[in-house]
Amino acid sequence: MKVFDTEMELITLVFLISQIILLLFQLLFYYQKSFDQKKGYYLTLLTLFIVYNLCGGLFPDSKIPMPIVFQNILAYGSGFALACYFPYFFYNYYNLKRLKFHVFYGVSIFLFVPFLSCIVIEYLITLNLINSVKHAMYVPAIYTIVAMYFIYREIKKTFERESREKSEMVLTYLSIMPWISMPIISYYGVEQFTEVVIINGGFVVTSALFFWRELVESREINQQFVILIDQLNNENKPSQAEQFKLKCEEFNLTCREVEVVVLMLNGLKYKDIASNLFIAERTVTKHSQNIFLKVGVSNKFDLIKTLQSI
């Protein structure tokens, strides 16, 4: 069902409006906590989905005063932009550092180059959209399968290392599936309704996982505050405990970062902190670097002094 005398399906409009509303609310929360990098990655993903639904829903349309060739390039370009960002999102959101090659080189070579050479250059020369799209999808179709293997493997290792729920891991896998299907959808020219449901279905799962993880981390942070306040109260320092909580909130430390700071307060070294939290020592080092950056200090002494200052 088309809406407003355009090529956009009703289901596309529903997703588009929902995502715009979600973006507005998330921007408000993001500017309240500007150090939340994960929310920034999610906002970028959300913005790309909005552009993808807008361009894919409206273009091509002969009633729009723009050459059809450029409309098609924008429509497919928005899809390629989304496909290129997916690995980067999971690379940063789940801290999958072993995917660095795929994020910084694989995407450029196996996704962007086919788009530029076929969808842009070949299409502008031949004006044959069907052949240009098919030629552009051969390499990405193979690459997405290869990249997914490495992404799945690294996600599995990360979830096992952090002792997270298997159900969350399975849902994470499902949220990536539409990324694999994008070259197939483009190659066969699947109708807009089916394409929108499949691709945006992955976004719905990704969003559900994002908000669930936000809720879990918020709850864990509160629990860490309670534990820490109890510890400091036992030392007859209630004002210091409250000040520590306020400082952590001010610098927007994540749940894991609060855990690391708490163990630092107890005098543990990075190796011992890693053992207590069941994570790699290099992960503790990375968390520490993020903590120092957020708080604006360069060593543990200044960090603890700043967080406990009254």
- State whether 149 and 14 are in the same domain: yes
Domain membership of residue 154 as a residue range: 10-216
- State whether 34 and 146 are in the same domain: yes
Please write the tens of the pLDDT for every residue from 106-153. 888 999 999 999 999 999 999 999 999 999 999 999 998 888 888 888
Number of H helices, E strands in the chain: 15, 0
Is the pLDDT at 274 greater than 60, yes or no?
yes
- Determine, yes or no, domain membership for 290: yes
CA distance 264 to 258: 10
CA distance 175 to 169: 10
- Mean pLDDT of the 217-244 span: 67
Confidence band, pLDDT 50/70/90 cuts, at residue 244: confident
- Mean pLDDT of the 290-309 span: 79
Q: How far is residue 57 from each of residues 63, 157, 176, 260, measured CA to CA in Å?
A: 14, 38, 22, 46
User: Do the beta carbons of residue 134 and residue 187 sit within 8 Å?
Assistant: yes
Which pLDDT belongs to residue 20? 96
Alpha helices per DSSP H over 235-277: 238-250, 255-265, 270-277
- Mean pLDDT of the 198-206 span: 92
- Mean pLDDT of the 268-284 span: 83
How many domains are there within the chain?
A: 2
- State whether 61 and 174 are in the same domain: yes
Residue where a domain terminates, one of 201, 216, 231:
216
- State whether 43 and 126 are in the same domain: yes
Which DSSP symbol is given to 112?
Answer: I
- Determine, yes or no, domain membership for 274: yes
CA distance 20 to 47: 8
Backbone angles phi, psi at 9, to 5 degrees: -75, 155
Estimate to the nearest angstrom the gap between the alpha carbon of 146 and the chain centroid: 20
Residues 6+ apart with CB under 8 A from 135: 114, 118, 122
**pLDDT top residue among 266 and 196:** 196
Is the pLDDT at 251 greater than 90, yes or no?
no
Is the pLDDT at 37 greater than 70, yes or no?
yes
Which pLDDT belongs to residue 241? 63
Average pLDDT, the chain: 85
Please write the tens of the pLDDT for every residue from 46-63. 999 999 999 999 999 999
- Mean pLDDT of the 273-284 span: 83
User: Do the beta carbons of residue 202 and residue 184 sit within 8 Å?
Assistant: no
